[in-house]
Amino acid sequence: MSGSFFGIFIRIINGTMDRRRFLRSSGMGLAGAACGGNQLLFAGRPAFSEFRRLYIGTYTTGSGEGINQARMEMHSGTIRVEKTYPGIENPSFLALSSDGNFLYAASETNEYQGTTGGSVTAFRIGRDRSDLILLNARPSLGEHPCHVTVSRNGKFVLTANYSGGNVSVLPVLADGSLGEAVEMQQHSGSGPNKQRQEKAHAHSVNLSPDNRFAYVCDLGIDKVVIYRFNDQTGRLYPAEMPFYRTAAGAGPRHFTFGSDKSSAFVINELNSTLTSLSVDTENGTLTEIQTVSLLPAPFSGENTGADVHVHPNGQFVYGSNRGHDSIVVFSTDRKAGRLKLVQHQATLGKTPRNFAIDPSGNYLLAANQNSDSIRVFTINQKTGILAPTDNVLMVSSPVCVLIR
């Protein structure tokens, strides 16, 4: 190793030169960093450890303590909690602004400051990304808000209120804090499941990639309600097709778009199914392509579907089963939109309410609510198959995992 190169390398180890300057100085990419045919290793690891930050929502009415901030080392898949932010009751679902500067948390309660309904809390993320700074909280205009999403222009936060059976829109102010709600749309109706569908239960709200439509899964009325969304005023208007109706008693819960933006997937909680849909990007209309079971035959125990995500490469769709306690993997034909079963992988814990796929597509993290654990699985990007690792983070009552 030449003296000049050795000096640069020592400065890297001592933290006096950053990784990008090293790569420019050496004329090499990280994957090709070698000298005399030997890769640069330090204590058996790559010289440069990339990481991602995680935000974990919990149920504080269980054993959770609040929002956990964690760090995941991408070369190994190990996770450790850096900080915990208490003081917010049931921060069960989290969402980041598109620029990554602000975090919003749904506080899933039935009362806020003496009035009926829950709230949404805003945080600013510190410059070094290692801290959350509390900004403010606002009423969600409905009981038990369980899902939030941020408009792509960063101007609004939309919230689905489960027990309230409605969706509300809160403006984001210049400093990232929240103003009073500017919109609320109330749902009505019921479904055949008398215990779970006695009234409307809005469970999630998602925006189309172009920010023009809002899709609200309502478990109580077996509908994905479709709104036109004005991303300058925050107002919601019934779309040309005001709703897509699922099978009776299906209980639509979560919704996600495919990578091609003209397909979408709905996971149905009550009948443990996954539905693939085509999306008309001009008018927001949804058309069913196929509905498949989340469960292997002949499983006959109790189960509810929970969360759904599409792999970054667009070729695989993943769903979580609570009861069977597994992640189901499907391949998807992006032209036809049809699903083919690939795998059922046990989550090695109880009640995987939520899970996340890291942006590189290499890892899936399953949040096992009732076993206080987040388990790490690798993803084969060619087949979609999950494989368990030895990496596990013990955290109380995890119900949402957000990877930045």
What per-residue confidence (pLDDT) applies to 1? Answer: 41
Tokens of 61: 């009415």
Q: What is the C-alpha to C-alpha distance for residues 125 and 144, in angstroms, rounded to an integer?
A: 25
What is the structure's pLDDT at 297? 92
Predicted local confidence at residue 188, as pLDDT: 98
Q: What are phi and psi of 176, to 5 degrees?
A: 90, -10
Tokens describing residue 48:
């440069």
pLDDT at 15: 40
pLDDT at 6: 35
Residues of the chain scoring pLDDT < 70:
1-49
Q: Centre a 10 Å sphere on the Cβ of residue 169 and count the other Cβ atoms it contains.
A: 25
Tell me the C-alpha distance between 377 and 228, whole Å.
38
pLDDT at 337: 84
Q: CB of 148 within 8 A of CB of 159?
A: yes
Q: What is the pLDDT of residue 142?
A: 98
pLDDT at 196: 98
Distances (CA, A) of 233 to 275, 292, 318: 32, 38, 34
pLDDT given at position 38 = 29
Each residue's pLDDT tens digit, 122-168: 999 998 878 999 999 999 999 999 999 999 999 999 999 999 999 99
Domain spans in the chain, listed from the N-terminal domain onward: 1-30
pLDDT tens figures, 1-33: 444 333 433 343 334 344 333 333 333 333 333
- CA angle at residue 334 from 331 to 336, to 5 degrees? 100
Q: Which of 71, 3, 11 is nearest to 47 (CA)?
A: 11
pLDDT given for residue 129 in this prediction: 79
- Tallying the residues shown for the chain, one arrives at 404
Query: Residue 136's beta-bridge partner residues?
Result: 122
B/e letters for 110-130, b = 16+ CB within 10 Å, e = fewer, are eebeeeebbbbbbbbbeeeee
Q: Give the per-residue pLDDT at 4.
A: 39
Is 197 within 8 Å of 190 (Cβ atoms)? yes
Q: Sort 3 into a burial class: Cβ within 10 Å, 0-12 / 13-18 / 19+.
A: exposed
